[in-house]
Amino acid sequence: MLEPSARVIPFNKASFVGNEQAYMAEAIANRHISGDGPFTKKTQALLEGVMGARQVLLTTSCTHALEMSALLLDLEPGDEVIVPAFTFVSTVNAFALRRAVAVFVDVRADTLNIDERLIEAAITPKTKAIVVVHYAGVACEMDAIVDIAQRHGLDLIEDNAHGLFATYQGKQLGTFGALATQSFHETKNFTCGEGGALVVNEPRFMERAEILREKGTNRARFFRGAVDKYTWVDLGSSYVPSDLLAAFLLAQLEHRDSIQHTRKQIWTRYHEGLRDWAQAHGVQLPYIPADREQSYHMFYMLLPTLNERARFLAELQRNGVNAVFHYTPLHRSEAAARLGARGDCPVTESVSDRLVRLPFYNSLAFEDQTTVIEAVRSFAPAVRV
């Protein structure tokens, strides 16, 4: 057993690459710090080019990008949207705000992604869309899911908050669905503190997406000279982030290769340092299928039981390591019951009880990661599954 530590290694820490302040100062000097300034346009163009997406629109959060997706689908009360039960509340809330009914589908026990084998049974005449979440930046089974969506005439939405620059069979995540969303929250690989993006891959949504993002006006067309004045033409809200945030984000994205290389090294060291310990104690480590490249967004473990997880987290905290658990099952939440959502998801319930995420951020020092690995290896679960 390790000696108690007086210093705590945080779960997350904002990391910087060096040009953030300079770009923000340039934005101020440009005297354009509101939305859709030069840095917004540069950042959107960079993402479109790297991802191979038709259109990328920066938003104030991934939550707002999801809300835009729900608006674009023209959902009506009683329409159904298929979603995984193991996800962040925003994935579901965006569609519930349009009075759609969430139909929860369980996740796979290996990747923790929506179980594609259960989707088709959840489809009814009221189903309008399938929403997938690429958990931990590891792709869902996209061939099967795309096929299901196409055969049933359903729109596919990717919540890609974890998966920027990850791939499935060589194709970028966020480019399979008609729409996809990205997150640039402080906990993500690339951040501007709070921010997101809507990725539009289906041409029929492109013009309207601009309108919804600009408070329901045709302001974007006005600035392109397509109309002589702009006015209110649709629903919408203020989803446009400040150009200051875009400047910060651009600085991060320009260093995407080095950031991803660093995160890959951190992930790999965790995996190699804990693989034998995990096997000996019945602990499940992340599974990455051979046909996909992950985003190296997080490193998680599944302890044998809920009680073992509680003991494990307490022991790590005693040794100066701030590890955390993750999502609670949305299908069992108060809101789900009140809003008429449905779904039976035993794998989600089991995973939620047992999952632990280790500290993971771009500037995690080698010696700090060594401390984390040693703290993990000093713990011996009392039971196995």
pLDDT digits (tens, 9 = 90+) for 345-355: 999 999 999 99
Yes or no: say if 339 and 349 are a contact pair by the CB < 8 Å rule.
no
Q: What is the pTM of this model?
A: 0.95
The CATH code that applies to domain 256-377 is: 3.90.1150.10
Burial of 222: CB neighbours in 10 Å, binned 0-12, 13-18, 19+: middle
Write the pLDDT tens digit of every residue in 162-189.
999 999 999 999 999 999 999 999 999 9
> 3-class DSSP state for residue 221?
helix
**CA–CA distance from 163 to each of 122, 133, 181, 328, 349 (Å)?**
25, 9, 10, 20, 23
Q: What sign does the CA torsion over 105, 109, 113, 116 have?
A: negative
Q: What's the DSSP call for residue 240?
A: P
pLDDT at 75 over 80: yes
Question: Which amino acid is present at 265?
Answer: Q
What's the confidence (pLDDT) of residue 382? 82
Q: Where are the domains of the chain?
A: 20-253, 256-377
**Mean pLDDT of the region 2-17:** 82
Q: What angle do the packed helices 256-281 and 366-377 form, to 10 degrees?
A: 20
Give residue-wise pLDDT tens across range 290-311: 999 999 999 999 999 999 999 9
Q: Residue 7's CB: how many other CB atoms inside 10 A?
A: 7
For 197-235, the pLDDT digits (tens) are: 999 999 999 999 999 999 999 888 877 778 878 899 999
**For residue 5, what pLDDT is reported?**
56
Interior CA angle at 133 toward 120 and 186, to 5°? 170
Q: Across the strands, what pairs with 183?
A: 196
Q: State mean pLDDT over 39-49.
A: 98
Separation between Cα atoms, residue 331 and residue 340, nearest integer Å: 10
Q: Which percentage of the chain shows pLDDT scores above 70?
A: 98
DSSP 8-class letter at 205: G
The helix or strand, by DSSP H or E, that contains position 256, with its residue range, turns out to be: helix 256-281
Tell me which fold the domain 20-253 belongs to: Aspartate Aminotransferase; domain 2 (3.40.640)
Q: Does the CA dihedral 255-52-224-207 come out positive or negative? A: negative
Contact 181, 161 (CB under 8 A): yes
Whole-angstrom distance, CA of residue 242 vs CA of residue 157: 26
Residues of the chain above pLDDT 90, percent: 91
Q: Kindly provide the b/e burial profile for residues 22-31, where b requires at least 16 CB atoms within 10 angstroms of the residue's own CB.
A: ebbeebeeee
CB 219, CB 230: distance < 8 Å:
yes
Using the predicted structure, report yes or no on whether residue 7 has a pLDDT greater than 90. no
pLDDT digits (tens, 9 = 90+) for 115-149: 999 999 999 999 999 999 999 999 999 999 999 99
Lowest-pLDDT range of 35-44, 191-200, 329-338: 329-338
- Residue 383 reports pLDDT greater than 80: no
